[in-house]
Structure 1
Amino acid sequence: MEFTAHASRPLRVAIIGAGQVAEKVHAAYYATRRDVTLVAVVDKEAERADAFAARNNIARAYTDADEMYRLEQPDLVSICSPNRFHSAQVLQALQHGCHVMCEKPPAMTPPEALAMAEAAERAGKVLAYDFHHRFAEDCRILREKVAAGALGEVYVTQARALRRCGVPGWGVFIDKEQQGGGPLIDIGIHMLDAAMYVLGFPQVTRVSAHQFCKIGNRKNRGLFGEWQPEKYTVEDSLFATLELAGGGILRLETSFALNIPEESVMNVQFCGADAGATLFPAHIYTDDGGKLLTLYQRQEADSQRHHNSMKAFVDRVMGQESDVADGRQGYRIQQLVAAMYQAAEQGESVTL
């Protein structure tokens, strides 16, 4: 599919949702490019939208997306709203002929994510998701090494997105109705996507999972501020095993609150028949007579993941070849998240 920019003028960009990620990632990146211009921000709270526009040199702020589309006619839209609004807002942007960068997760359910992917394909527009960890150079390197057989058959992958006490004290992260879940759909989904990307998106045949809520509904303070435990309706940890068509397994551990020594862990390990690897920073190793032998190692993990993700999206819109986390891959990840929640809630494995 070919995408061509308006060569005669910079592309017009609007942001939906005036929160932290909208400002620190999306607005910050767009401001670095001369071939796009931020023309509008939309938020249901007028005061917040106005303040966001003032801080980021955006000409106009709106509380009504329909009015914004009618008056501004943007070419690109960033969706940075709470999870439950993603589907409707992405579809609305596509209906107005916009390319879309949406924050994760794609949606609340797999059917919503599939409808979004299909709508983008029908419209001939770029739909990308900000699964930014896969845009680290470390991921690209390991993906190529795995594909080339440097690890041999990879039969065990362990993805970990853990916080000892990192319940977000802002937004709707503890509200299952608005968020769709807790750490799995917020941070676990990132390491799941990174692992699947490195492995080349293998087919998953069966999913089993266990979830717990033992801390978030009792404590009220942690690394990211305070929350109300009586309103905590999401899991605070989840542990899953994904069985792969080739016979391997992918294990995922994720938590907002878990009594572990580390403050935070965000990484993936790959165990192959010939060698193993750690994702951040990229490190490939094997055993040599009982001693660890390093075959490849980066000293530092790529810290420009958000930048790389946003750049890939805009470059793709401009007609350049760039790899984005597209609608179909977003749908696959959404399917796996839903299967893990289903398995955990039902107490039995889910066959895909």
Structure 2
Amino acid sequence: MSKKIAIIGAGGMAAYHINGFRSAGADVVAMADVNHAAAQATAAKHGIDKTFGDVAEMLSALPELDGVSVIVPNKFHAPLALQALQAGKNVFCEKPPALNATEMAELKAAAESAGKTLMFNFNNRARPESYAMRGYVNDGSIGTINSCQAKWIRRAGIPGFGGWFTNKALAGGGPLIDLLHMVDLGLHFMGYPEPAHILARTYNDHIDDKAFKGPWGIPDNAKGVNDVEAAAHGFVTFTTGQSLSFQISWAEMNEREECSCTFQGSKAGGMVRRLFGVDGLDETSIDACQLYTTENGVQVNRDVKVATDETMGRERSAANFIKTLTGEEAPLNTPAEALSLMKIIDGAYASAASGQPIAL
């Protein structure tokens, strides 16, 4: 019998979740949003029968639900995920997992108490390039990854001014918490080692400069605030002796938008990268996946060929949630990993505020 899933949040990301769930054989049966008209419009577009303006009403009316998908502004991730877990539902939640590690720890405990699956849309783990590279990690070709550089930089990519993205109370922070994907991907390749210390700095240059607005996002709100960082840089050490550096920005003087994860292992290195086009995903975008190794005493940079995925793993990540519920696949991420990631993000903001390294 197919899994029955409901979507909470009628925004643009819902399409990826719906398509991914359906590709894995799930039945998307309901759509909920506090803006009921938006829920009705998105449901009609995607052929979903039931709509609700209240999540509690939906959970009460549909006890047969196997899981819910949470796609709302960051502040509401943890409360809605917790509400669904306490109602006995499995949960697939957009990133970030929560506003901070304290909220994430509460979610982890709730999932364990309920005996339910809790996963997050770290979709870059589900890109074909990432699956391929993880294969090299798993088969021993890489050896131990000693160091990693995680980067998601934009030159002009602020997702609207005065909306929830630039409001710390609603978003938890700026690009560091928004574009956490490459930090997560690096940790994924490294085996999610236990973090020890972090030193970080944040910068707010250009955060209220309309010339640095990105080609996507939400409408500006003249009455809103822009109290988050525009860029964050940091260095993390781990109890294992491994290390990770990161460079994350919405607005910074860079050549072009880049998201990449590069690492150096004891046997080989590797890199997964997307260079975005002028308007985001267009014909000038460039994807690369390379393995750096030695063959017969010769230094070799090997191009790893994979299928293209313009959804950047978003649909495949959602499909993995369903396949986890059916026992067909292992989960691409766990609550313990999400908690570790949020500890690093909390530590980065604390270090930037104090100007000192932070023990994690």
Question: Does 2:38 align with 1:48?
Answer: yes
Alignment of 1:52-67 (within 5 A): 52-67=42-57
Aligned twin of 2:247: 253
Partner amino acid for 2:181? H
Partner amino acid for 2:289? A
Question: Does 2:288 align with 1:298?
Answer: no
**Aligned partners of 2:320, 2:314: CA distance in 1, in Å?**
10
Question: Does 2:189 align with 1:198?
Answer: yes
Query: Once the two structures are superposed, what CA deviation does each residue of 1:82-124 show, in whole Å capped at 9, x if it has no partner?
Result: 1111111111111211111000111111121111112111211
> Using a 3 Å threshold, how does the CA distance of structure 1 residues 184 and 217 change in structure 2: closer, same or farther?
same
Alignment of 1:76-95 (within 5 A): 76-95=67-86
Aligned twin of 1:336: 344
Residue segments in structure 2 that go unaligned for 5+ positions in a row: 274-287
**Aligned partners of 1:323, 1:334: CA distance in 2, in Å?**
19
Aligned twin of 1:323: 331
> Using a 3 Å threshold, how does the CA distance of structure 1 residues 259 and 72 change in structure 2: closer, same or farther?
same
Alignment of 1:95-134 (within 5 A): 95-134=86-125
Range with greater deviation from structure 2 (335-344 or 169-178):
169-178
SS in 2 for 1:323: coil
- Count how many residue pairs are aligned between Structure 1 and Structure 2: 340
SS in 2 for 1:282: strand
Residue segments in structure 1 that go unaligned for 5+ positions in a row: 1-6
Q: Is the 8 A contact 1:143 1:200 kept in 2?
A: no
Question: Does 2:192 align with 1:185?
Answer: no
**Aligned partners of 2:301, 2:80: CA distance in 1, in Å?**
47
Give the superposition deviation at 1:301. Answer: 5.8
Of the three residues 269, 283, 286, the one matched with 2:262 is 269
Partner amino acid for 1:59? D
Question: Does 2:213 align with 1:222?
Answer: yes
Q: Is the 8 A contact 2:156 2:211 kept in 1?
A: no
Of the three residues 20, 24, 36, the one matched with 2:26 is 36
Aligned twin of 1:142: 133
Alignment of 1:229-240 (within 5 A): 231-240=225-234
Aligned CA-pair RMSD: 2.4
SS in 2 for 1:184: helix
Q: Is the 8 A contact 2:82 2:107 kept in 1?
A: yes
> Using a 3 Å threshold, how does the CA distance of structure 1 residues 166 and 291 change in structure 2: closer, same or farther?
farther
SS in 2 for 1:279: strand
Of the three residues 155, 162, 172, the one matched with 2:164 is 172
Query: Once the two structures are superposed, what CA deviation does each residue of 1:246-288 show, in whole Å capped at 9, x if it has no partner?
Result: 32320000000011111x1111111234432112433112479
Of the three residues 150, 154, 157, the one matched with 2:148 is 157
> Using a 3 Å threshold, how does the CA distance of structure 1 residues 319 and 143 change in structure 2: closer, same or farther?
closer
SS in 1 for 2:13: helix
Of the three residues 10, 22, 27, the one matched with 1:18 is 10
Range with greater deviation from structure 2 (91-100 or 251-260):
91-100
**Aligned partners of 1:185, 1:349: CA distance in 2, in Å?**
19
> Using a 3 Å threshold, how does the CA distance of structure 1 residues 174 and 219 change in structure 2: closer, same or farther?
same
Range with greater deviation from structure 2 (282-291 or 249-258):
282-291
| Percent of matched pairs sharing the same residue | 29
Aligned twin of 1:307: 315
> Using a 3 Å threshold, how does the CA distance of structure 1 residues 130 and 345 change in structure 2: closer, same or farther?
same
